[in-house]
Structure 1
Amino acid sequence: MIVKESRWDQRGKRPARIANVSGARTDPGYHMRRQAEWGDVDFLTGDYLAEINLPENKKGMDAGLHEGWEPTCWDGFVQTIDLIAQKELKVIVNGGALNPAGLAAKVQELVNEKGFSLKVAYLSGDDLTEETKDQIVRTGQIPAHLDSNNPDVKVEKLAVALQDYQARPVITSHAYLGARGIVGALDGGADIVIAGRVADASPVIAAAWYWHQWKPTDYDQLASALIAGHLIECSAYTTGANFAGFDQFDLDLFVDLPFGIAEVANDGTTVITKHENTTKGIVNADTITCQFLYEIQGAIYLNSDVSADTTNIVIRDIGKNRVQMSGIKGYPPPPTTKLAVFYDAGYQCQLLANAAGYATEKKWQLFEKQMRFFLNERGVLDQFDHLEFQIVGVPEPNPRSQLRSTTYCRVFAQAPTEEAISQIFPAWADHIMQHFHGKYHLTSTRGLFNRLHWSLDYRTAHPKPYISFYPGLYDQTALKEAAHILGKDGKVAKTIDAKLPTEYYHLERRINFDAEPYTLRNPQGPTRTVTLGDIAYGRSGDKGANCNFGIYPRNPAHWDWFRGYMSREKLQELIGDDWRDTYFIERMEFPELKAVHFVVYGILGRGVLASTLLDSLGKAFADYIRAKTIDIPVEILEL
Structure 2
Amino acid sequence: MTRSRPVRVANCSGYHGDPAYEMYRQATLGDVDFITGDYLAEVNMANNAEAWRAGHHPGYEETAWEGLRQTIEVIAEKKIRVVINGGALDPKALAEKVDAMTREKNLNIKVGYLSGDDLYPNYGPNMPTSRKELAHLDSGHPSVAPSDLTFAFLNTPDSKPVPMVSAHAYLGARGIVHGLREGADIIICGRVADASPVIAAAWYWHNWSETDYDKLAGALVAGHLIECSAYVTGGNFSGFDRYPLDNLVAPGFPIAEIEDDGSCVITKHPNTQGMVTTDTVRCQFLYELQGSIYLNSDVSARIDNVVVEEVGTDRVRVSGITGAPPPPTTKLAVFYQGGFEAELLLNATGYGTSKKWDLIEKQLRHFIPKAVLDDLETLEFQRQARIFFAQPTHPQLTRTYQTSQLQSTTYLRIFIASRSVLSVAGVSVAMRDISLKHFSGSSLRPERIDGIFICVAYIDHHLGFHSTLDMRTAVPRPFLAYYPALVNQADIKETIHLIDGQNKTSFDIPRPSQYQALAPRESYDPQVVLSPPVEEGVAAKEIRLGDIALARSGDKGANLNCGIFVTNPGHWEWLRQYMTIGRMRSLLGEDWDDSFFIERVEFAHIHAVHFVIYGILGRGVSSSSRLDGFGKGFADYIRDKVVEVPVELL
Per the normalisation by structure 1, the TM-score is: 0.93
Deviations 1:78-115 (A, max 9, x none): 11111111110100000111111111111112112211
Q: Flag structure 1 segments of 5+ consecutive residues without an equivalent.
A: 1-8
- From 304, 309, 314, the counterpart of 1:321: 314
The corresponding residue for 1:36 is: 27
Q: 1:384 to 1:521 in 2, by over 3 A?
A: closer
Per the alignment, do residues 187 and 290 of structure 1 end up closer, same or farther by CA in structure 2, a change over 3 Å counting? same
Shift of the 409–208 alpha-carbon distance from structure 1 to 2, 3 Å rule, reads same
- Quote the residue 1:144 is aligned against: 135
Which aligned pairs between 1:470-509 and structure 2 lie closer than 5 A? 470-489=483-502, 491=503, 493-509=504-520
Tell me if structure 2 keeps the 8 A contact 1:143–1:472: yes
Aligned to 1:260: 254
**1:258 partner SS:** coil
Q: Hey, what's the Cα distance between the residues in 1 that align with 2:467 and 2:338?
A: 32
Aligned with 2:42: secondary structure? coil
| Alignment equivalent of 2:477, drawn from 445, 464, 477 | 464
1:210 aligns with 2:204: yes
Partner of 1:585: 598
1:399 aligns with 2:402: yes
Query: Post-superposition shift, 1:367?
Result: 1.3
Aligned residue among 8, 20, 25 for 2:16 = 25
Task: Report the residue type matching 1:612 in the other structure.
Answer: S
Name the stretch that deviates more: 615-624 or 140-149: 140-149
SS of the equivalent of 2:369 reads helix
Match of 2:521 among 510, 513, 517: 510
The C-alpha deviation readout for 1:564-597, integer Å capped at 9, x for no partner, is: 1110000001111100000000001011111111
The 2-side partners of 1:288 and 1:194 are apart by 28
Aligned to 2:394: none
Q: Which amino acid aligns with 1:47?
A: D
- Given that 1:357 and 1:395 are in contact with CA atoms closer than 8 Å, whether structure 2 keeps it comes out as no
**CA displacement at 1:406 relative to structure 2:** 1.4
- Pairs aligned (count): 622
Q: 1:168 Cα deviation (Å)?
A: 2.2
2:274 corresponding residue in structure 1: 281
Residues 566/109 of structure 1: CA separation in 2 closer, same or farther (3 Å cut): same
> Cα distance 1:508–1:359, how it changes in 2: closer, same or farther (>3 A)?
same
1:80-479 alignment runs, 5 A limit: 80-133=71-124, 141-163=132-154, 166-278=160-272, 280-376=273-369, 379-394=371-386, 396=388, 397-440=400-443, 460-479=473-492
Contact 1:308–1:331 (8 Å) recurs in 2: yes
Larger displacement relative to structure 2 (613-622 or 288-297):
288-297
Choose 185-194 or 131-140, whichever is displaced more: 131-140
Counterpart residue identity of residue 381, structure 2: F
The one-character-per-residue Cα deviations of 1:440-467 (angstroms, maximum 9, x if unpaired) are 4679699979x9998865xx31221111
**2:20, 2:88 → 1: CA distance?**
16
Q: Percent identity?
A: 50
The within-5 A match list for 1:57-96 is 57-96=48-87
Between the aligned partners of 1:203 and 1:297, the Cα distance in structure 2 is: 21
| Residue of structure 2 in register with 1:563 after alignment | 576
| CA distance in 2: counterparts of 1:404 and 1:327, whole angstroms | 49
Give the deviation of 1:621 after TM superposition: 0.6
Q: 1:427 to 1:405 in 2, by over 3 A?
A: same
Find the aligned partners of 2:129 and 2:425 in 1 and give their Cα distance. 34
Q: CA deviation at 1:50?
A: 1.0
Residue 506 of structure 1, CA deviation:
2.5
**Residue in 2 that maps onto 1:5:** none
Asked if the contact 1:122/1:485 (under 8 Å) is kept, the reply is yes
CA distance in 2, matches of 1:411, 1:137: 31
Deviates more, 1:627-636 or 1:120-129: 627-636
Q: Which moved more, 1:550-559 or 1:440-449?
A: 440-449
The 8 Å contact of residues 425 and 476 in structure 2, kept in 1 or not, is answered as yes
By how many angstroms is 1:144 displaced? 0.9
| 1:614 counterpart = 2:608 | no
Aligned residue in 2 for 1:3? none
Q: In the alignment, what sits opposite 2:552? A: 539
Relative to structure 1, the CA distance from residue 518 to residue 434 in structure 2 (aligned partners, 3 Å threshold; closer, same or farther) is closer
RMSD of aligned Cα (Å): 2.3
* Mapping of residues 3-14 of structure 1, within 5 Å: 12-14=3-5
**What secondary structure sits across from 2:366 in the alignment?**
helix
1:128-162 deviations in Å (ceiling 9; x for gaps): 11211379669884311111111001111110223
1:597-625 deviation line (CA, Å, top 9, x unaligned): 11000111111111001101000111111
- Of the structure 1 ranges 513-522 and 290-299, higher mean CA displacement relative to structure 2 is found in 513-522
Q: Partners of 1:527 and 1:454 in 2: how far apart?
A: 55
Q: 1:445 to 1:430 in 2, by over 3 A?
A: closer
Moved more, 17-26 or 137-146: 137-146
Change (3 A) 1:261 1:364: same
Q: What is the SS of the residue equivalent to 2:605?
A: coil
Task: Please report the TM-score for the alignment, with normalisation by the length of structure 2.
Answer: 0.92
AA at the equivalent of 2:584: L
Question: Is contact 2:550-2:567 (8 Å) kept?
Answer: yes
Report the Cα distance in structure 1 between the residues aligned to 2:189 and 2:290, rounded to whole angstroms.
Answer: 25
Structure 1 residues 186 and 425: CA distance shift in structure 2, 3 A: same
Give the drift of 1:554: 2.4
How far apart are 1:631 and its partner, in Å?
0.9
- Aligned with 2:230: secondary structure? coil
Distance 1:138 1:244 in 2: 43
Query: Does the residue aligned with 1:592 lie in a helix, a strand or coil?
Result: helix
CA distance in 2, matches of 1:356, 1:234: 40
Give the distance between the partners of 1:366 and 1:521, measured in 2 at CA. 41
Say if 1:142 and 1:162, in contact at 8 Å, map to a contact too.
Answer: no
Moved more, 420-429 or 24-33: 420-429
Q: State how far apart, in whole Å, the 2-side matches of 1:122 and 1:193 are.
A: 5
Could you tell me how far 1:389 is from its partner in structure 2?
Answer: 1.1
Q: Offset of 1:635 from its aligned partner?
A: 2.8
Change (3 A) 1:21 1:508: same
